Amino acid sequence: MPDPDVLPRRERLRAETLADIRRHGYAQIAAGGPAALSLNGIAKAMGMSGPALYRYFASRDELLATLVTESFEDLAQTLEVAAAAAAAAAAAADGPAEARLRAVAGAYRTWGRTSPERYRLVFGSTYGAGDLDPDRIIPAAARSMAVLLAGLAELYPGAPGPKVQPPALRREVQRWGRVRAGDQVRDPGVLLLGLLAWSRMHGIVSLEIEGFYEQVGIDPGLLFDAEVQQLIAQRAQR
């Protein structure tokens, strides 16, 4: 977003109103899930008329697509910052290559725990698939997956991942990598490992933010770390 401090007054007021609308939208989603998102409800909470709010977002779907895109971009930026910091620290101290992957995985879990309403919006509903606005949502989603895949690939640079069978699965994984995972990693074995790793990490984080592990007496942090360690061991296999 443009810096509100340097915008003309009219543009600054519009930017502030847009930020308020998004903030109320996230609050509605946190309280009742994506189905609770209501432009009329937001307008009422902000003391605006319905027609006035529609000057900012033409429809509920347009606002929802904006929130999904913004959430994916926030996650991607979080992972990119964590990856860059870990890579710099490892280079300075001649640390292990796995430090970047561990940092990315940890940042993913932290983002889900601190932004559960955004996590549920993009990963706990169908909206994250991008149908509302593919041109915005899919590239935003691909950014975060690209960070995870880069961390996997850099554990053993140039080393191929496990062979992917059957051929139909290999083709699907490669298509997913091109369209929805940043198209930076081409090895089907690494792509499949990244997809499976995300699926397992997502399962742990999803159960954690719903309070499941508290009920069964398992420390989700220890479980998550064990999953990351298993991922690193799998990457070492040829």
pLDDT digits (tens, 9 = 90+) for 133-151: 999 999 999 999 999 999 9
Verify that 25 and 80 share a domain, yes or no.
no
Whether residue 82 sits in one domain with residue 158: yes
Helices within the chain (DSSP H only): 9-32, 39-46, 50-53, 60-93, 98-114, 116-123, 134-153, 167-180, 188-209, 212-216, 220-236
Is 60 within the bounds of a domain?
no
The answer to the question of residue 58 being in a domain is no
DSSP state, residue 127? G
Answer for the pair 72, 140: CB distance below 8 angstroms, yes or no. yes
Residue 213 domain-assigned?
A: yes
- Helices 220-236 and 188-209 cross at an angle (nearest 10°) of 170
pLDDT above 60 (res 196): yes
| One domain for residues 161 and 45 | no
147, part of any domain? yes
Say yes or no: 48 and 144 in one domain.
no
45 by Cβ neighbours in 10 Å (0-12 / 13-18 / 19+) ranks as: middle
* Residue 103 domain-assigned (yes or no): yes
* pLDDT higher than 60, residue 5: no
Question: Mean pLDDT over residues 185-209, rounded?
Answer: 95
Where does the pLDDT of residue 10 fall: very low under 50, low under 70, confident under 90, or very high at 90 and above? Answer: confident
Percent of the chain with pLDDT over 90: 79
Report the pLDDT value the prediction gives residue 7, as an integer from 0 to 100: 58
Confidence category of residue 93, pLDDT binned at 50, 70, 90? confident
Beta carbons of 24 and 46 less than 8 angstroms apart? yes
* Shared domain check, 185 and 150: yes
What gap in Å lies between CA 152 and CA 232, rounded to an integer?
8
Would you give the DSSP letter of residue 34? Answer: G
Give how many domains the chain has, as a whole number: 2
> What pTM was computed for the model?
0.91
Q: For residue 91, what are the domain limits? A: 68-236
pLDDT one-digit tens code per residue, 44-60: 999 998 888 999 999 99
Do 48 and 155 lie in one domain? The reply is no
Residue 154 lies in a domain: yes
- The rounded mean pLDDT for the chain is 92
Taking 90 as the threshold, does the pLDDT of residue 21 lie above it?
Answer: yes
Taking phi over 0 as left and psi of -120 to 50 as alpha, with beta for the rest, 108 belongs to: alpha
Three-state DSSP at 204 gives helix
Residue 205 lies in a domain: yes
**Tens of pLDDT along 96-134?**
778 999 999 999 999 999 999 999 999 999 999 999 999
Q: Going by C-beta distance under 8 Å and a sequence separation of 6 or more, which residues neighbour residue 163?
A: 189
